[in-house]
Structure 1
Amino acid sequence: MPNFDPRTLNKQAFQSLQTLRHQAGQDNSLLKEQKNQAMELYTYLSTWGLMRLKAEEVALSQTGKRQVVERFFNDLGTLSGRNNLADSQGLNTLVALSANEYLGLTGLGIELANEFGF
């Protein structure tokens, strides 16, 4: 049975947020968009679910918000072993999951979103 280190989620979220921060440089408006989206991920995901968040990703017009959602799905794919969640086929992947797989992935996503909002 594989061991799961709970620091894995913290580390993944921290590295992603650090990368986004570095990419934003001194652009305070972009930083604010990123911060707000990172803090909203948990509530959005808990309310609407992964499929809705993935569908909304394309519609996000604010660059900072879209970057956070893209990083979130990249990290979720890495952690879950479903590496295509971040690409254009991510929504199709979510639709094709069994109910148990989707619920499990949603649970992992909620925990990861909680780390993004810290």
Structure 2
Amino acid sequence: MNIFDPRTLSEPVYKALSDLRRPYEEAWQKATREIDKKIYYNHLKEQKNQAIELYTYISTWGLMRCKAEEKYLDKRKLGEPEVTRVEDKAKIEQYGKREVIQKYFSCLENLAASSDTKDLATDRGLDVLKGLQADEYLGLMGLGLELANEFSFWANAVYHDIKGDQ
């Protein structure tokens, strides 16, 4: 008999948010100018707020619109490479939101662990969602809402010292 372990949802979310926070916190600690510290702090605040808002967004608009939002938040122009340096990412408005949505879909893909949801966290994610049968989409939506609820909870724990706009 299999027993559901509630840590199945908590552990990947805690790790995802901790991993997202770490490089920006380290950059904040190394920054010598107040303007740079403010950029990193605001980026962390973006991450926290997006993680908290995921449940409301997904329950209102659904997974497809959330995945589309990830694309919208990609501020690159056609042909521009992905930004890789923490210093550059922190300066892009709303990039922290995009990072949280990417981590969310990565966690959801791993938890769903189905061949139908393979590539959910990639650029093909919208096509994956579009291709699901109605019952599969609704099931994924239920799992997605529970996962978003975990993101909301863990955001307050992981970003406990980041204040404002909550």
What is the one-letter code of the residue matched to 1:102? Y
Considering fraction of residues, name the structure with more helix: 1
Structure 1 length-normalised TM: 0.95
Structure 2 length-normalised TM: 0.68
Aligned to 1:22: 22
Aligned to 1:31: 44
Aligned to 1:67: 99
What is the one-letter code of the residue matched to 1:37? Q
Q: Name the count of aligned residue pairs.
A: 118
Deviation larger for 80-89 or 106-115: 80-89
After TM superposition, the structure 1 = structure 2 runs for residues 31-50 of structure 1, keeping only pairs within 5 Å, are 31-50=44-63
**How far apart, in 1, do the equivalents of 2:2 and 2:137 lie?**
21
Post-superposition offset of 1:16: 0.4
Segments of structure 2 that go 5 or more residues without pairing to the other structure are 29-39, 76-93, 154-166
**How far apart, in 1, do the equivalents of 2:23 and 2:102 lie?**
14
After TM superposition, the structure 1 = structure 2 runs for residues 50-89 of structure 1, keeping only pairs within 5 Å, are 50-60=63-73, 61=75, 62-81=94-113, 82-89=117-124
Do the aligned partners of 1:74 and 1:85 also contact (CA within 8 Å) in 2? yes
Percentage identity across aligned positions? 55
**Which secondary structure state, in structure 2, belongs to the residue aligned with residue 77 of structure 1?**
helix
Alpha-carbon deviations, 1:65-116, whole Å to 9, x = none? 0000000000000000133111011100000000110000000000000000
Q: CA RMSD in A?
A: 1.2
Residue 149 of structure 2 corresponds to residue 114 of structure 1: yes
Post-superposition offset of 1:54: 0.4
**How far apart, in 1, do the equivalents of 2:55 and 2:9 lie?**
14
Segments of structure 1 that go 5 or more residues without pairing to the other structure are none
**Which secondary structure state, in structure 1, belongs to the residue aligned with residue 119 of structure 2?**
helix
What is the one-letter code of the residue matched to 1:36? N
**How far apart, in 1, do the equivalents of 2:12 and 2:118 lie?**
14
**Which secondary structure state, in structure 1, belongs to the residue aligned with residue 4 of structure 2?**
coil
